[in-house]
């Protein structure tokens, strides 16, 4: 008899022949997040994963909290695992459920019997176990339509499980099943959300951040590293690349027309990012651009940016309003960090009147006025590479 966590995986169930590899990746991702809490065994119990602590005193609340951030899990619940013997279920069930049932007024019992050799059928389990609970908790009433709590009895291959309903999981598909992408991360609200969204669809992430000291401070960079650590609770390990960008920005300032500063800077960022992506085996870039949010995110500006991109640029928040992006940032706990008031290199030398409808030919011609190539090489050479893990 032991408390465990049951995992209902979501879309993986639809994956047909690939199902096995998705499930294996999910289990690896779960183990990585649980490992600091102690030893667990994870095994498959008929389309449901069962997470079993192998040590005394493991913090299951924390385990559930961590698992709620692992993509590929639709729902999860703490449950009591007992032998498949109704006498034991009757005896142990009320004790296990007391904490919950003492605080509600109505309940119902549902049973799921995937082991068809179990001698009682589902309606009988519900009826009998419901009776046991009514006797143990005389304040309770049965309400089959709108119960405060639905008690589940699941009879599976090796064990029976008793629980009182599930919690939502993070959804999505397991990180690492969809290849690698490189996120351009600023200290803002949007790019961490963009990274989270692509990770949710199974991509593992690298992140690149451009810094321009002394115009941008060490604290601004630390803020971005903190954002990566917060994202890593969902996205798994993130390899962080920090690119020194000061010289390039100064060269743009000195050699390009002011109203095109931002757009040229963004093109050069993309060029560097693609090189890093290629070196790391990432197949796409990810940005936090949202259509029309600022001058560099109009459709014409995006045409100019994408002109230098040979790999796909994924922009998952492109059609979202700020409020919608903020809601996700709050949910994933990056918002409070993102709004810390440190400078970003994008706000260094910002033109007073940036072009909102830049013409591609004009941008290309302006950029060609100066040979940026050696500086780009130098920046790539001096890029720092760090591994970011979730805060323990
Ligand atoms: P965010 O909230 O992500 O900062 P934003 O709305 O402030 O986005 P911009 O500052 O124009 O918009 O940046 C657009 C996108 O460019 C960002 O979402 C990010 O992907 C990328 N970006 C901006 N600044 C940097 C930087 N210093 N390093 C890496 N990528 C950056
Ligand atoms: Mg920004």
Of 95-99, 115-119, 324-328, the poorest mean pLDDT is in 115-119
The closest alpha carbon to 211, from 263, 175, 173, 249, belongs to 249
Segment 181-218, tens digit of pLDDT: 999 999 999 999 999 999 999 999 999 999 999 999 99
Give the mean model confidence (pLDDT) for residues 17-23: 82
Return the ligand 1 atom nearest residue 325 CA: 2
**pLDDT > 90? residue 357:** no
**Hey, whose CA ends up nearest to atom 14 of ligand 1?**
289
Domain ranges in the chain are 2-170, 180-388
Residue 166, phi then psi, degrees to nearest 5? -110, 165
Residues recorded for the chain:
392
Rounded distance, CA 378 to CA 183, Å? Answer: 21
Rounded distance, CA 42 to CA 284, Å? Answer: 33
Segment 51-85, tens digit of pLDDT: 999 999 999 999 999 999 999 999 999 999 999 99
pTM of this structure: 0.93
Give the mean model confidence (pLDDT) for residues 149-163: 94
3.30.70.2740, 3.90.1150.10, 3.40.309.10, 3.30.2130.30: CATH of 2-170: 3.30.2130.30
pLDDT computed for residue 204 by the predictor: 97
Segment 236-266, tens digit of pLDDT: 999 999 999 999 999 999 999 999 999 999 9
**pLDDT > 80? residue 13:** no
**pLDDT > 70? residue 175:** yes
Q: Please state, rounded to an integer, the average pLDDT across all residues of the chain.
A: 94
391 confidence band (pLDDT: 50, 70, 90): confident
CA of 329 to the centre of ligand 1 (A): 15
pLDDT computed for residue 14 by the predictor: 64
Which ligand does the CA of 216 lie closest to? Answer: 1
The closest alpha carbon to 168, from 100, 45, 67, belongs to 67
The closest alpha carbon to 154, from 211, 84, 62, 207, belongs to 84
**Hey, whose CA ends up nearest to atom 10 of ligand 1?**
346
Segment 333-343, tens digit of pLDDT: 999 999 998 88
Q: What is the CATH number of domain 180-388?
A: 3.40.50.620
Rounded distance, CA 238 to CA 192, Å? Answer: 12
Pick from 182, 190, 320 the residue to mutate for probing ligand 1's pocket: most ligand atoms within 8 Å of its CB: 190
Cβ-proximal residues to 38 (8 Å cutoff; 6+ apart), any chain? 53, 54, 55, 57, 58
**Hey, whose CA ends up nearest to atom 18 of ligand 1?**
288
């Amino acid at each position: 008899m032991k408390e465990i966590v049951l995992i209902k995986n979501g879309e993986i169930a639809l994956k047909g022949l690939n199902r096995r590899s998705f499930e294996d990746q999910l289990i690896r991702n779960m183990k990585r997040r649980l490992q600091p809490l102690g030893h667990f065994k994870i095994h498959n119990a008929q389309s449901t994963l069962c997470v079993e602590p192998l040590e005394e005193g493991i913090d299951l609340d924390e385990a559930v909290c961590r698992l709620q951030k692992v993509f590929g899990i639709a729902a999860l619940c703490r449950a009591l695992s007992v032998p498949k013997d109704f006498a034991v279920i009757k005896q142990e069930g009320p004790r296990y459920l007391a904490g919950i049932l003492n605080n509600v007024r109505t309940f119902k019992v549902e049973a799921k019997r995937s082991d068809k050799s179990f001698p009682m059928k589902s309606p009988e389990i519900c009826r009998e176990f419901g009776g046991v609970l009514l006797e143990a908790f005389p304040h309770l009433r049965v309400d089959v339509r709108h119960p405060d709590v639905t008690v589940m009895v699941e009879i599976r291959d090796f064990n029976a499980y008793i629980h009182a309903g599930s919690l939502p999981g993070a959804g999505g598909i397991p990180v690492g099943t969809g290849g690698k992408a490189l996120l351009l991360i600023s200290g803002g609200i949007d790019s961490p959300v963009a990274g989270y969204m692509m990770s949710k669809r199974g991509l593992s992430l690298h992140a690149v951040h451009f810094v321009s000291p002394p115009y941008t401070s060490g604290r601004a960079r630390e803020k971005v590293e903190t954002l990566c650590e917060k994202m890593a609770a969902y996205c798994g390990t993130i390899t962080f690349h920090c690119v020194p960008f000061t010289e390039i920005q100064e060269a743009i300032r000195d050699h390009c027309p002011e109203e095109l500063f931002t757009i040229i800077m963004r093109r050069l960022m993309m060029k560097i990012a693609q090189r890093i992506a290629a070196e790391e085996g990432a197949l796409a870039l990810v940005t936090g651009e949202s259509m029309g949010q600022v001058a560099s995110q109009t459709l014409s500006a995006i045409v100019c940016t994408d002109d230098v991109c040979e790999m796909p640029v994924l922009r998952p928040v492109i059609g979202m309003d700020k409020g919608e992006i903020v809601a996700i940032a709050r949910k994933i706990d990056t918002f409070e960090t993102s709004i810390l008031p440190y400078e970003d290199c994008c706000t260094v030398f910002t033109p007073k009147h940036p072009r909102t409808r830049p013409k591609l030919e004009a941008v290309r011609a302006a950029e060609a006025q100066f040979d940026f190539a050696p500086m780009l090489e130098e920046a790539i050479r001096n890029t720092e590479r760090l591994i970011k893990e979730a805060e323990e």
